[in-house]
Amino acid sequence: MQPDRADAATHPASETLPMAALLALAMTGFLCIATETLPAGLLPQISQGLAVSPSMAGQLVTAYALGSVVAAMPLTIATSSWPRRHVLLATILGFLVFNSVTALSSDFWLTLAARFFAGMAAGLAWSILGAYARRMVAPHLQGRAMAIAMVGTPLALSLGVPLGTWMGGALGWRAAFGVMSLLTMMLIGWVLLKVPNYPGQPAKSRIPLARVLMTPGVLPVLGVVMAWMLAHNILYTYVAPFVAPAGLESRVDLVLLVFGAAALVGIWITGRVVERALRSAVLASLAVFGLTALAFGVTAASPIMAYAGVGVWGLTFGGAATLLQTALADSAREGADVALSLNVVVWNTAIAGGGILGGILLRSWGLVSFPWALLVLVLVALFLAWSARANGFPPGSRKQATAAIGH
């Protein structure tokens, strides 16, 4: 253990942004999301290759999300005393092993199990990435560091499915998962070379889960995560049928590209404002998302409206992970790791809930109900964020806000 302590001592919190290390974290996030969404664009090939129905093949996505929900908290707590780079490498090795099994397996149930365990690795990864990025830099740079570490998410959301679909068509679906394994091997070397190590948290200093939950501000932030991400995932899961009335059913790849490009702009803006105006950025993002949902509900479907609406939606979503995880970690204080593992559970529950609730809406009331459901959920999130003025989303700069909530 001595080398790990020595390594940590040589990597104090930086007064500048360690871009190579932060981008390695972003690449980890990219692999998490790309691994999760890859089957969505390959369902016909996977169902044929594993001799199952497309609906059964779709459960590969469900198994992954379930693994993340089940594992995030217990694995985060179980590994909290480990050196941080050891935990990060363990999650990446998980992707290497289980994506390789997926690429080689000819048995559906083995593939389903591999997807579940890959989801467990992702749950642990998401629990530590935000705190890892914060630990690398001085407090006044933590928000910007998290923005960089989270940039892999919109890239994967916008490029993961189209690239996976292209690779599956050109090389076969197994090769697509094989490429993911190759990227993972490269990332292991990148992490070993560029990402600093830090000691884990001593067992005697761990904060119980119940105490973290009761920390002022934690529950309101998690409530905003649930309402906001539920609204987002209803739209994202069913984006193909949603844009079909505008004549874009064959251009979903371009729609997702617009979303991803706008989300990258959103991340850039968030990185510029998160330190001095986190509360304002959250409220503005939710308000604009709500207005976009309202516009979808009251205007006639057209390609211009669809692209514009998707672009604005992507802009508001881009910085969401950074804003919400920063607010959550600031509120939880010493319990940030546990709180961020709770965030993984809530986030993935919202992903599953978006698919379920969106399916119910689609079957019962059709696409016309989507904008109004989104608007209701966004208004709930806006109310929770607005009300959490004292703890959760305090006004002013992060320096002032953290002082106000007891740092």
- Among 146, 172, 206, identify where a domain stops: 206
Question: Helix-strand-coil percent breakdown of the chain, rounded to 5?
Answer: 85, 0, 15
| Whether 223 and 370 share a structural domain | yes
| Whether 23 and 109 share a structural domain | yes
Mean of all residue pLDDT scores within the chain: 88
| Whether 130 and 188 share a structural domain | yes
| Whether 119 and 263 share a structural domain | no
Tell me the average pLDDT across 226-241: 90
Domain assignment present for residue 191? The answer is yes
| Whether 384 and 252 share a structural domain | yes
Which distant-in-sequence residues (6+ apart) come within 8 Å of 248 by Cβ? 254, 255, 303, 306
Question: Which band of pLDDT confidence, cut at 50, 70 and 90, is reported for residue 161?
Answer: low
CATH number for the domain that contains residue 13:
1.20.1250.20
- What's the predicted TM-score (pTM) here? 0.83
| Whether 121 and 193 share a structural domain | yes
Report how far apart, in Å, the C-alpha atoms of 383 and of each of 79, 85, 287, 342, 346 are.
36, 38, 10, 21, 18
| Whether 159 and 238 share a structural domain | no
Question: Which band of pLDDT confidence, cut at 50, 70 and 90, is reported for residue 43?
Answer: confident
Determine the pLDDT at residue 9: 45
Domain assignment present for residue 321? The answer is yes
| Residues 370, 113: Cα–Cα separation, whole Å | 33
Q: Find, among 346, 335, 338, 319, the residue nearest to 406 by Cα.
A: 335
- Among 173, 206, 239, identify where a domain stops: 206
Domain assignment present for residue 407? The answer is no
- Among 169, 188, 206, identify where a domain stops: 206
| Residues 374, 369: Cα–Cα separation, whole Å | 9
| Whether 373 and 256 share a structural domain | yes
Task: Give the Cβ contact number of residue 196 at 10 Å.
Answer: 17
262-299: pLDDT as tens digits: 998 999 999 899 999 999 999 999 999 999 999 999 99
Question: Which band of pLDDT confidence, cut at 50, 70 and 90, is reported for residue 38?
Answer: confident
Q: Which residues pair with 137 in a beta bridge?
A: 14
Domain assignment present for residue 406? The answer is no
Tokens of 170: 């050109």
Check pLDDT > 60 for residue 130: yes
| Residues 228, 161: Cα–Cα separation, whole Å | 22
How is 365-398 classified by DSSP, letter by letter? T-GGGHHHHHHHHHHHHHHHHHHTTTTTS-SS-H
Determine the pLDDT at residue 79: 92
Q: Determine whether 94 is exposed, middle or buried from the number of CB atoms within 10 Å of its CB (0-12, 13-18, 19+).
A: buried
| Whether 153 and 213 share a structural domain | no
Which distant-in-sequence residues (6+ apart) come within 8 Å of 262 by Cβ? 310, 311, 312, 313, 314, 315, 318
Q: Which residues pair with 390 in a beta bridge?
A: none
* Three-state DSSP string of 111-146: HHHHHHHHHHHHHHHHHHHHHHHHHHECHHHHHHHH
Domain extent at residue 248? 207-400
| Whether 55 and 188 share a structural domain | yes
User: Residue 335 carries which DSSP code?
Assistant: G
Q: Which residues pair with 14 in a beta bridge?
A: 137
Q: How many helices (H) and strands (E) does the chain have?
A: 19, 0
306-315: pLDDT as tens digits: 999 999 999 9
Check pLDDT > 50 for residue 349: yes
Check pLDDT > 80 for residue 13: no
| Residues 384, 77: Cα–Cα separation, whole Å | 28
Question: Which band of pLDDT confidence, cut at 50, 70 and 90, is reported for residue 404?
Answer: low
User: Residue 73 carries which DSSP code?
Assistant: H
Question: Taking the alpha carbons of 355, 336, 76, 34 in that order, is the dihedral positive or negative?
Answer: positive
Number of domains into which the chain is organized: 2
Tokens of 358: 């969106």
353-389: pLDDT as tens digits: 888 898 889 889 999 999 999 999 999 999 999 999 9
| Whether 36 and 71 share a structural domain | yes
| Whether 197 and 324 share a structural domain | no
Cα 262 from chain centroid? 16
| Residues 196, 187: Cα–Cα separation, whole Å | 14
163-219: pLDDT as tens digits: 777 787 788 899 999 999 999 999 999 999 999 999 987 766 667 888 888 999 999
Q: Is 300 helix (H, G, I), strand (E, B) or coil?
A: coil
